[in-house]
A and B are shown apart, each in its own frame.
Chain A
């Protein structure tokens, strides 16, 4: 059993180190003087995010400024990372609302199932990525923090428009 090795049929007479070097130098010089650079100067410039970018969560609110969540318990059920903590409550009129709603963004895998499953379109993932914190506790977003976020929310995948255009 032998291994086939591809041998380039290039005669020694056509091989030149100097010519190859010079053409390489010309090539690098072209890039050196090329004013177009690929770097994004991050804090000043930002790359455009996709509409379907799945970042940190946001809880949408109704006209009164209250969270739309009715505490149905679907999102903690569907969450594969088990990062949503929900304790439902009910007021005198029988309206359900979340007593405790916490998302541990450290555990979250940003799959977007919670947004997909929510019947009230309350919980959303956001088009946002600058979420650094100094402590681990800072990554547990409570209801107040989730409702006060202002970044745009991500859109769900639309089968009629699979490329998201």
Chain B
């Protein structure tokens, strides 16, 4: 019944191709402009947080700053390291750029648009594999970064590339696992059916708050944003994997990073905030499609994605970078068991509800919400006591810590044997 599930204009292949071409062209125009504006937004938000004004010279309020940056980058000299692998060195930014562009394709950004030639679904490709496609493509993106690090023949680049691959592989697991509860609820992987399920059964941020949390953290790690920007870690690795890059090649990595941010925000909005659904009304998802509906749902989606984009920037300019072992322990020792346990919890809960005869609707949402609140309290009160993020040593028992402390009071402690406390909560 969902209009998104209808395949668009099936009876006329030519019309489908024309519609797709128009969608792709319009989409890429809008997408690239958005990415350009995001670079400006990032600088503006960072400036405001630091009590500055940010770029405000080029155009009204600095609006043309991205254009100026683009022209500057085109004019820069393009260098490639003499001892590096030139082919891979050139290929790497292209891989990063293309995967970042393609991964958006399955995200529906508005209600279907009625045209004189039929109803057009507003996602580039309404693939039956849905978000699995996005996951797959974003996994390919790691090749761009790793190859960039390797082909530069530079130790800092290589370290950045290595970190990136380790980080992406670790967090992809918890990212994939945090989506499985959504599958259990929606029963399908297409974006359309997930949105439909949320329109009827409440947004997944309430249904599956814990999955939302793990997905959010994993998405930050997947897009290499602070506090997980270890691949570029400018204070340790010069500029990480793009140390050797200059001119437009460097810009491609930059664009790819922002495009990945945009895709991750779109994914989170679609999977957890109901996509283009307008809350508290069924008007947008029932009845015939209309242009007004399309515009309003598009704005709704933009607001949701924009919220996540702002969150990205806000967190980036608030939190310091994780240490490498903290990053790994958070991924493997906390997020992975949490998302696995949550799958079991939700699966058994849904099975129990089904046995009790409760179908999708208010009661199901209520039960899930209560369970989520309980789990969240458990996480934040019981686990978040110096255990969420590992202290400066990898693992230290309370007894060991006590021993070190008493030793310190006696004044016979070498510098190597004492480390500061898990000082996260200053």
Kindly state the separation between the CA atoms of A38 and B53 in the bound complex, as whole angstroms.
8
Proximity bits, A15-31, B CB within 8 Å = 1, else 0: 11111110011011101
Whether, in the assembled complex, A132 has its beta carbon less than 8 Å from a beta carbon of chain B, the answer is no
Main SS at interface, chain B: loop
Contacts of B386 in A (CB 8 A): 12-13, 15-16
Residues on the A chain within 8 Å of B405, using CB: 7, 9
Q: B315 interface residue, CB < 8 Å from A?
A: yes
A8 in contact (CB, < 8 A): yes
Instruction: Check A24/B318 contact, CB under 8 A, given A7-B420, A7-B421, A16-B424.
Output: yes
A14 to B317, CA, bound (A): 25
Q: With A and B bound together, what is the CA distance between A36 and B314 in angstroms? A: 19
Q: Of A2, A3, A8, A25, which one neighbours B318 at CB under 8 angstroms?
A: A25
| Interface residues in chain B, defined as those with a beta carbon under 8 Å from any beta carbon in chain A | 45, 48-53, 314-315, 317-319, 380, 384-389, 391, 398, 401, 404-405, 408, 411-415, 418, 420-426
User: Which residue on A lies nearest to B50, using beta carbons?
Assistant: A31
Given A3-B415, A15-B422, A20-B424: A29 in contact with B53 (beta carbons within 8 A) = no
Given A17-B384, A20-B425, A28 and B318 contact (CB-CB distance below 8 Å): yes
Contact in complex: A28, B317 (CB < 8 Å): yes
* Cα-based distance from A126 to B53 in the complex (angstroms): 31
A13 to B387, CA, bound (A): 9
Evaluate contact between A17 and B389: CB separation under 8 angstroms: yes
Cα A35 to Cα B67 in complex, Å, equals 27
Establish whether residues A37 and B422, one from each chain, have CB atoms under 8 Å apart when the complex forms. Answer: no
**A23 shortest CB reach to chain B, Å:** 9
In the complex, the answer to whether A38 meets B52 with C-beta atoms within 8 Å is yes
B51 touches A38 (CB 8 A): yes
Q: Are B422 and A4 in contact (CB under 8 A)?
A: no
- Asked if A4 meets B411 with Cβ closer than 8 Å, knowing A12-B398, A15-B386, A18-B388, the reply is yes
A16 pairs with B425, CB closer than 8 A? yes
Give the residues in chain A near B421, CB-CB below 8 Å: 7-10, 15
Cβ 8 A contact of A7, one of B384, B408, B412 = B408
